């Protein structure tokens, strides 16, 4: 029987399901409830009490930062752990979250191990006591608790600024590009660069095609490729110093050429964001991308 309660807040149902599944498998004493935005989370938190909040930053109606600020103003939530799970990992955003009272910061895409360690760190003795009382143990790597055992007896401090997930160097067009690089949609006149980040790696790539549902990128084969359904964050330069960070998952991997020794692989990322602002930014990029292909 669950003894602790966690609230998972994200506008993408795919991400909420990943977080809930990890908690269910590794921490059976934690019962999860989810909300698609900060407003819905605020309503749930006003009617019930939660022991842990795991929240996205960018959401419609109320952002994760606004929810955090409201939460710290409520007497019953002043000290409740709040983990910000977001693709925004730059130093300024981390500092802002720390100033508002965030307990920990986890970058997207994340691994189950990374999420588990953050939960162990912020929950401390309450989680250990609940696990001991239930007589249950975590599924997955058995030493996840051992690796973080010291954290359970240490005084909790404000998190150090997190390092953003690896930002790969862009795949710059080469003067002697192969025929694969010059295929329709990836020629120099239409080339748009994208950084695709995964939990443990990143791809240097160019955009082959994009719409509001998915993006197809072309990457050199000599890189480390993800598995199907793996989380991804696509960083797209929106010009004028603005960067769109779109959450998704790997839908398809396919050789560009019909031969075993092809040098290029096509990766299709399905988007999961439902934030109207992100969709608006994406629409502007698509218009510019298609205009460049004419």
Segment 230-277, tens digit of pLDDT: 999 998 877 766 778 899 999 999 999 888 888 999 999 999 988 888
Which structure tokens are listed for 48? Answer: 């019930």
Q: Is the same domain home to 259 and 127?
A: no
Tell me, yes or no, whether 160 lies in a domain: no
Q: Is the same domain home to 24 and 138?
A: yes
Query: What CATH number is attached to the domain comprising 224?
Result: 2.40.10.220
Tell me, yes or no, whether 140 lies in a domain: yes
CB 62 within 8 A of CB 32: no
- Last residue in a domain, options 96, 128, 153: 153
Total of domains in the chain: 2
Tell me, yes or no, whether 210 lies in a domain: yes
- Please state, in angstroms and as integers, the Cα–Cα distance from residue 204 to each residue in 167, 252, 267, 285, following that order: 9, 17, 11, 19
Q: Is the same domain home to 147 and 63?
A: yes
What's the rounded Cα separation, in Å, for the pair 152 and 178? 55
Which helix or strand (DSSP H or E) is residue 132 part of? helix 112-134
Tell me, yes or no, whether 222 lies in a domain: yes
Q: Is the same domain home to 11 and 143?
A: yes
Which structure tokens are listed for 219? Answer: 């990457």
Tell me, yes or no, whether 158 lies in a domain: no
**Lowest pLDDT segment from 121-125, 162-166, 194-198:** 162-166
- Last residue in a domain, options 128, 153, 178: 153
Phi-psi region of 5 (alpha: psi -120 to 50; beta: other; left: phi over 0): beta
Q: Is the same domain home to 107 and 216?
A: no
- Domain encompassing residue 94: 4-153
Q: What is the pLDDT of residue 177?
A: 35
Q: Is the same domain home to 20 and 98?
A: yes
Of the pLDDT bands very low, low, confident and very high (cuts 50, 70, 90), residue 163 is very low
Q: Is the same domain home to 131 and 14?
A: yes
Tell me, yes or no, whether 168 lies in a domain: no
Tell me, yes or no, whether 277 lies in a domain: yes
Convert the pLDDT of each residue in 25-84 to its tens digit. Answer: 999 999 999 999 999 999 999 999 999 999 999 898 899 999 999 999 999 999 999 999
What's the rounded Cα separation, in Å, for the pair 55 and 84? 5
Tell me, yes or no, whether 29 lies in a domain: yes
Residue 200 sits at φ, ψ, to 5 deg, of -125, 10
Query: What CATH number is attached to the domain comprising 147?
Result: 3.40.50.2300
Mean pLDDT of the chain: 81
- Last residue in a domain, options 108, 130, 153: 153
Whether pLDDT at 173 is above 60:
no
Q: Is the same domain home to 204 and 263?
A: yes
Q: What is the pLDDT of residue 128?
A: 87
Q: Is the same domain home to 24 and 127?
A: yes
């Amino acid at each position: 029987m669950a003894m602790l309660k966690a609230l998972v807040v994200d506008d993408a149902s795919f991400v909420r399901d990943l977080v809930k599944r990890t908690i269910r498998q590794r921490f059976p004493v934690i019962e999860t409830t989810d909300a698609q935005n900060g407003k819905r989370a605020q309503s749930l938190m006003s009617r019930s009490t939660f022991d842990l909040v795991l929240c996205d930053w960018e959401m419609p109606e109320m952002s994760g930062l606004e929810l955090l600020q409201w939460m710290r103003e409520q007497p019953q939530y002043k000290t409740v752990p709040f983990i910000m799970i977001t693709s925004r990992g730059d130093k300024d955003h981390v500092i802002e979250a720390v100033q508002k009272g965030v307990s920990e910061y986890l970058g997207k895409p994340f691994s189950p191990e990374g999420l588990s360690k953050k939960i162990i760190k912020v929950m401390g003795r309450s989680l250990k006591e609940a696990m001991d009382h239930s007589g249950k143990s975590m599924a997955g790597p058995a030493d996840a608790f051992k690796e973080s055992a010291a954290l359970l007896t240490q005084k909790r401090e404000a998190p150090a600024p997190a390092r953003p997930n690896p930002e790969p160097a862009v795949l710059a067009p080469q003067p002697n590009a192969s025929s694969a690089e010059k295929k329709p949609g990836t020629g120099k006149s239409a080339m748009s660069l994208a950084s695709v980040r995964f939990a443990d790696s990143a791809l240097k790539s160019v955009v082959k095609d994009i719409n509001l549902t998915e993006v197809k990128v072309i990457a050199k084969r000599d890189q480390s490729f993800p598995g199907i359904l793996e989380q991804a964050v696509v960083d797209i330069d929106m010009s004028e110093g603005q960067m769109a960070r779109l959450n998704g998952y790997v839908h398809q991997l396919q050789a560009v050429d019909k031969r075993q020794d092809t040098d290029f692989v096509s990766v299709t990322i399905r988007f999961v964001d439902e934030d109207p602002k992100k969709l608006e930014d994406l629409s502007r990029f698509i218009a510019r991308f298609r205009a460049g292909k004419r």
